């Protein structure tokens, strides 16, 4: 287990390092940084001064190490657009996206796992078909379309929930649902397949033969084992949700990380883009690592293979 974990950790670190190089280069490929910082009307002398002042005249590798060191201390410099540090922008935006992601993940698990189990238990019946149909729908409807549809029905027609913003917990319901909708098919399919596999295994037959009630067999014996891959998938889906919330945040006007990234791209605000890319990628790497380790812990076949 230790060797497996350290192996995965090494891979994760390597990926993180690569991502940081890409993020760093992103800023430097975007054009002349000194000109950008100096603003459109700066003179050549002013630009040269800024180049020196910000250390942009040093070798690229040195600049990278310097940047990495500061990034490790959560210092991403200042936004070109807002007169504020990138870190303080992130501090405000991060909770919105995290909350959205967490609620969405919970919602998608609550919907998808029972649905997957049902589909497996009643495999081949109309219930299975319906669940699959639901899946296809989830995969086929684009997030922004679903988002606008939800706004029209629940906010404009029924007036149950607010349209946009992040003012109260109610504001999170519609966007979370729209985001969860997208993750449901994958989780559901995986729990269904896991259940099918487990249900046909010998120990389930034994459990049934002992005369245990079907609900006990399904929930206590089968689900526990079938759910293992879902744990890993959930972690990866969470990463997807954080990164994929851009559209949902824009439609629901939520000032989260995705929205910030989208605005920053349109504003050529590279320090912000860079920080968001780095942070989302790192979270993703961390989640994948956690998923690997959790899986290995749960399933000895993985760590011994």
Partner 1 sequence: MKTSRFSLATLFAVVGIAAAPAAALAGKSNDTLVYASDSEPENVSPYHNNLREGVIIARHVFDNLIYRDPATGKYMPQLATSWTWVDPTTLDLTIRKGVTFHNGDPLTADDVVFTLNYVVSPQAKVVTKQNVDWIKSAEKIGNDKVRIHLVGPFPAAIEYLAGPVPIYPEKYFKKAGLDGFAKAPIGSGPYKITAVTPGKGVTMEKNKSYWQGSPLGQPTIGKLVFRVVPDAETRLAELMTGGVDWIWRVPKDQATQLKSAPNITVLSAETMRVGFLQFDALGRTPAAVPFKDARVRQAVSYAIDRKAMIDNLVGGSARIMNSACFIDQFGCTDKGVPRYDYNPAKAKELLKEAGYPNGFKTEIYAYREREYAEAVIGYLRAVGIDAHLNYLKYAAMRDANRAGKAPITFYTWGSFSVADASAFTGVWFKGNADDSSHDAEVQKLLKEADTSVDTNRRLKIYQEALKLIAEKAYLFPLFSYPANYAFTSDLAFTAQPDELPRFFRAHWK
Residue 78 DSSP SS3: strand
Task: Decide whether 23 or 296 has the Cβ nearer to partner 1.
Answer: 296
Q: How far is the CB of 129 from partner 1 (least distance, A)?
A: 29
Q: Report if residue 41 touches partner 1, rule: CB under 8 A.
A: yes
* Contacts to partner 1 from residues 148-177, by CB under 8 A: 148, 151-152, 155-156, 159, 162-172
Q: How far is the CB of 33 from partner 1 (least distance, A)?
A: 14
* Contacts to partner 1 from residues 251-280, by CB under 8 A: 251-253, 255, 259-260, 263, 266-268
Task: Decide whether 122 or 144 has the Cβ nearer to partner 1.
Answer: 144
Tell which one of 186, 250, 276, 281 touches partner 1 (CB under 8 A).
250
Of 54-62, 66-74, 96-104, 186-194, the segment contacting partner 1 by CB under 8 A is 96-104
Of 14-22, 112-120, 175-183, 246-254, the segment contacting partner 1 by CB under 8 A is 246-254
Task: Decide whether 164 or 193 has the Cβ nearer to partner 1.
Answer: 164
Q: Determine if residue 268 is left, alpha or beta; phi over 0 gives left, psi from -120 to 50 gives alpha, anything else beta.
A: left
Q: Report if residue 238 touches partner 1, rule: CB under 8 A.
A: yes
What contacts 301, CB < 8 A, 6 or more positions away?
A: none
Question: Do residues 171 and 254 touch, judged by C-beta distance below 8 A?
Answer: yes
Question: Do residues 27 and 37 touch, judged by C-beta distance below 8 A?
Answer: no
Q: Report if residue 290 touches partner 1, rule: CB under 8 A.
A: yes
Q: Report if residue 304 touches partner 1, rule: CB under 8 A.
A: no
Of 49-57, 145-153, 191-199, 203-211, the segment contacting partner 1 by CB under 8 A is 145-153
Report the b/e string of 58-81 with b at 16+ CB within 10 A: eeeeebeeebbeebeeeebbbbbe
Residue 192's CB is within 10 A of a number of other CB atoms, namely: 25
Task: Decide whether 208 or 267 has the Cβ nearer to partner 1.
Answer: 267
Alpha carbons 115 and 246: distance in angstroms, whole number: 27
Alpha carbons 111 and 232: distance in angstroms, whole number: 17
Q: Determine if residue 62 is left, alpha or beta; phi over 0 gives left, psi from -120 to 50 gives alpha, anything else beta.
A: alpha
Q: Report if residue 204 touches partner 1, rule: CB under 8 A.
A: no
Residue 91's CB is within 10 A of a number of other CB atoms, namely: 11
From residue 43 to residue 82, the character string flagging contacts with partner 1 as x (rule: CB under 8 A) and all else as - is --------------------------------------xx
Q: How far is the CB of 245 from partner 1 (least distance, A)?
A: 13
Using CA atoms of 96, 98, 104, 105 in order, give the dihedral in degrees to the nearest 10: 180
Question: Do residues 63 and 274 touch, judged by C-beta distance below 8 A?
Answer: no
Alpha carbons 188 and 236: distance in angstroms, whole number: 14
Question: Contact residues for partner 1 (CB under 8 A)?
Answer: 35, 39-41, 81-84, 89, 92-93, 95-96, 98-99, 101-103, 105, 148, 151-152, 155-156, 159, 162-172, 224, 227-228, 231, 234-235, 238, 250-253, 255, 259-260, 263, 266-268, 290, 294, 297-298
């Amino acid at each position: 287990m230790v060797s497996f974990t350290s192996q995965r950790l090494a891979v994760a670190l390597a990926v993180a390092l690569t991502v940081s190089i890409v993020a760093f280069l992103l800023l430097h490929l975007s054009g002349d940084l000194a000109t950008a910082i100096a603003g459109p009307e700066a003179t050549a002398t002013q630009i040269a001064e800024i180049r020196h002042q910000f250390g942009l005249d040093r070798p690229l590798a040195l600049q990278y190490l310097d940047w990495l060191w500061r990034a490790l201390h959560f210092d991403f410099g200042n936004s070109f657009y807002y007169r504020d540090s990138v870190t303080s922008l992130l501090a405000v935006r991060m909770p919105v996206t995290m909350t959205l992601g967490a609620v969405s993940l919970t919602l998608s698990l609550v919907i998808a796992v029972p649905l997957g189990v049902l589909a497996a238990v009643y495999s081949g019946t109309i219930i299975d078909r319906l669940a699959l149909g639901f899946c296809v729908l989830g995969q086929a409807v684009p997030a922004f379309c679903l988002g606008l549809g939800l706004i029209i029905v629940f906010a404009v027609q029924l007036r149950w929930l607010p349209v946009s913003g992040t003012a109260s917990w109610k504001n999170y319901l519609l966007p979370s649902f729209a985001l969860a909708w997208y993750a449901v098919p994958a989780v559901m399919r995986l729990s269904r397949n896991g259940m099918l596999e487990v249900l046909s295994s010998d120990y389930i037959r034994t459990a049934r033969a002992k005369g245990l009630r079907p609900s006990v067999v399904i929930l206590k014996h089968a689900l526990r084992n079938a759910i293992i891959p879902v744990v890993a998938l959930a972690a990866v889906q969470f990463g997807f949700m954080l990164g994929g919330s851009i559209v949902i945040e824009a439609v629901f006007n939520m000032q989260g990380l995705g929205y910030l990234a989208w605005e920053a791209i349109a504003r050529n605000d590279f320090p912000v883009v860079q920080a968001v890319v780095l942070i989302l990628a790192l979270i993703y790497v961390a989640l994948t690592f956690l998923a690997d380790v959790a899986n290995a812990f749960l399933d000895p076949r993985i760590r011994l293979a």
